[in-house]
Structure 1
Amino acid sequence: MAGRLIAIGECMVELMQAEGGLMRKSFAGDTFNTAYYARQYLPADWSVDYLSAVGTDMISDEMLAFMEGHGIGTAHVQRIEGRAPGLYMIHLKDGERSFSYWRSVSAAKLLARDGDRLRTAIEASDIAVFSGITLAILPAEDVGTLLAELRRARAAGKRVVFDPNIRPRLWDDAERMRTAITEGARAATLVMPSLDDETAHFGDASLEETIGRYRALGVEELVVKDGGKGATLVFGGETSHVPSAEVRRIVDTTSAGDSFNGAFLARLATGESPREAARFAADVAAAVIQHHGALVAKDRLPNG
């Protein structure tokens, strides 16, 4: 059955290490990465769109062409004069990554300024995906606008997917961060947190505490990711666990969670059970972290 997934957030210019001390340019960002991997595994009769904002400069042109070249629609990406995409650089040490960011004039910070545009885009979709980073980059009033439209979508029966993806450096206040993440979860039908984030920033003492906290907010479906320990699923009131896939050598953990999210949502949307979807998504994430960069070419991923 045909459908449409829309991912909401910020795509950035990505600089990653290459041979000889050189840097390689690409484009990535958490919700865009999720859209990319969902596109790899959704059938052709499904559309995948991105909702964001870019500038009117040359690098923005390149970014839009990159999205479209990978099958991701850009009709809901605004062009804003005087703004530009943000940029980040990946630093690697033993396969683990850290980042440097330059995003002070990022156009994506204005993606939720127009509530009517948001509503039109979300209403035309079956699945809407957003993250804690989406919320972190927005002005407080625009966070309210976005969450209101997502609550409307949830009430209309759409699947609203939220990855808290907690990045404290993006927030000016820890309590505001926790409040926004909590309200993001209230707007969602499916929440896909990482257990280490929840432990570090909400003080959860156990997996059960994380699940209980989100269930108390009215979240119907949960996928709690726990790195090499796998993922715990809560669907239909039943809890189950799916182990992680075997990884021969970790090269770059960038986009591990995003690729899991995209592959999981694609399989779930096309009728697989949550457990089947999570097993496949674990295989995809395992393949991704054995290569450099956030976006791994389709021929290096598990067959869909």
Structure 2
Amino acid sequence: MGGKFLSIGECMVELSQAGDGLLRRGFAGDTFNTAWYARACLPADWSVDYFTVLGDDPMSDEMLAMMEKAGIGISHIRRIPGKTPGLYLITLKDGERTFSYWRDTAAAKKLAADADHLRTAIEAADLIYFSGITLGILASEAVDTLLSELRRAKASGKIVAFDPNIRPRLWPVGEEGKEAMLKTIEAGARAATLVLPSFDDEKAHFGDVDIAATIARYHVLGVPTVVVKDGPGGVTLSFDRKVEHVAAVEAKAAVDTTSAGDSFNGGFLSRLLTGETPAKAATHGAAVAATVIGHHGALIDPGLLPR
């Protein structure tokens, strides 16, 4: 029997280099990327919906058309007249990617402005997925609204999955900004039943000395299930305090690591929802991520993914 997967966050316009001074346009964003791979990996009796806010401009129209074509539900997406999506530009230099963002006035910053609409979408879902970037783009009152609804979902027995995806550039500079960022990430974790952190982020920003410290810290925050991603070091799972390690799947050629974690999350959650053991679900997620980083771009053709 299927169910409903709801991903909450921001999908942006992506501009990347196409040579000869030209740019290629696409659409991507961390929680949308995970929705894309969840849709690709879940059976047809599961619906995957995206929750965000867009404008009434042609770019928003094209983004919605792309989502529908991919089989991702858009019925929960509100539109605000006069607003537009956020945009980012990828620049390549000596093989290294850098990102420039234009999102200060993006429509997605209003995704929690209608609390009743938000509650309706969450109540209809079996799994709700969000990230630290979702929290980072919102004003503090909107964060409170979103987390309040997610705590309700957790208390009602729904799966609430959270990737901390820590991005300091979304927060004010200085110690106060860092403190606010870490407190908000912790608040996000408290609202979740399953957290999917990346160890590099946790080490850099929370000072965790090892993966065991990351797992212990999230359990103390009240998270029952922790899945720590460590790139080529594999994945460490803590389900019901039982710790298990799953090796990474080696990519044939790593050409673009964009969306590696997002695609793992989509592959992992899809298998977990359809009854696989956590270890088998993580192995599938690792295989999806290894395939994705072997191709350019955040979103690859679902036909290329392992089954």
**Relative to structure 1, is the Cα distance of residues 230 and 109 closer, same or farther in structure 2, using a 3 angstrom cutoff?**
same
1:24 is paired with a residue of what secondary structure? strand
Following superposition, which runs of at least 4 residues in structure 1 exceed 4 angstroms of deviation? Answer: 93-96
Alpha-carbon deviation of 1:98? 2.6
Give identity over the alignment, percent.
63
Whether the 8 Å CA contact 1:6–1:50 is kept in 2: the answer is yes
**Relative to structure 1, is the Cα distance of residues 291 and 194 closer, same or farther in structure 2, using a 3 angstrom cutoff?**
same
CA distance in structure 1 between the aligned counterparts of 2:237 and 2:121, rounded to whole angstroms: 29
The answer for the alignment partner of 1:254 in structure 2 is 258
Tell me the amino acid that sits aligned with residue 42 of structure 1: L
TM-score, structure 2 as length reference = 0.96
Q: 2:189 aligns with which of 185, 189, 198?
A: 185
**Relative to structure 1, is the Cα distance of residues 39 and 96 closer, same or farther in structure 2, using a 3 angstrom cutoff?**
farther
The answer for the alignment partner of 1:37 in structure 2 is 37
1:1-304, aligned counterparts within 5 Å? 1-92=1-92, 96-172=96-172, 173-302=177-306, 304=307
Whether the 8 Å CA contact 1:190–1:220 is kept in 2: the answer is yes
> Could you list the runs of 5+ residues in structure 1 that have no partner in the other structure?
none
1:180 is paired with a residue of what secondary structure? helix
> Could you list the runs of 5+ residues in structure 2 that have no partner in the other structure?
none
Tell me the amino acid that sits aligned with residue 242 of structure 2: E
2:75 is paired with a residue of what secondary structure? strand
Tell me the amino acid that sits aligned with residue 209 of structure 1: A
Whether the 8 Å CA contact 1:95–1:253 is kept in 2: the answer is no
Structure 1 residues 126-173: Cα deviation after superposition (integer angstroms, max 9, x where no partner): 000000000000010000000000000001100000000000000111
The alignment's C-alpha RMSD in Å is 1.1
Across the two proteins, how many residue pairs are aligned to each other?
303
More relative contact order in 1 or in 2 (CA 8 Å, sep 6+)? 1
Alpha-carbon deviation of 1:242? 0.7
CA distance in structure 2 between the aligned counterparts of 1:227 and 1:19, rounded to whole angstroms: 30
CA distance in structure 2 between the aligned counterparts of 1:254 and 1:22, rounded to whole angstroms: 21
**Relative to structure 1, is the Cα distance of residues 205 and 11 closer, same or farther in structure 2, using a 3 angstrom cutoff?**
same
Whether the 8 Å CA contact 1:9–1:130 is kept in 2: the answer is yes
Tell me the amino acid that sits aligned with residue 168 of structure 1: P
**Relative to structure 1, is the Cα distance of residues 154 and 134 closer, same or farther in structure 2, using a 3 angstrom cutoff?**
same
CA distance in structure 1 between the aligned counterparts of 2:241 and 2:165, rounded to whole angstroms: 24
Alpha-carbon deviation of 1:105? 1.5
Alpha-carbon deviation of 1:19? 4.3
Alpha-carbon deviation of 1:94? 6.4
CA distance in structure 1 between the aligned counterparts of 2:261 and 2:16, rounded to whole angstroms: 18
Tell me the amino acid that sits aligned with residue 30 of structure 2: D
Alpha-carbon deviation of 1:33? 0.3
Alpha-carbon deviation of 1:93? 5.2
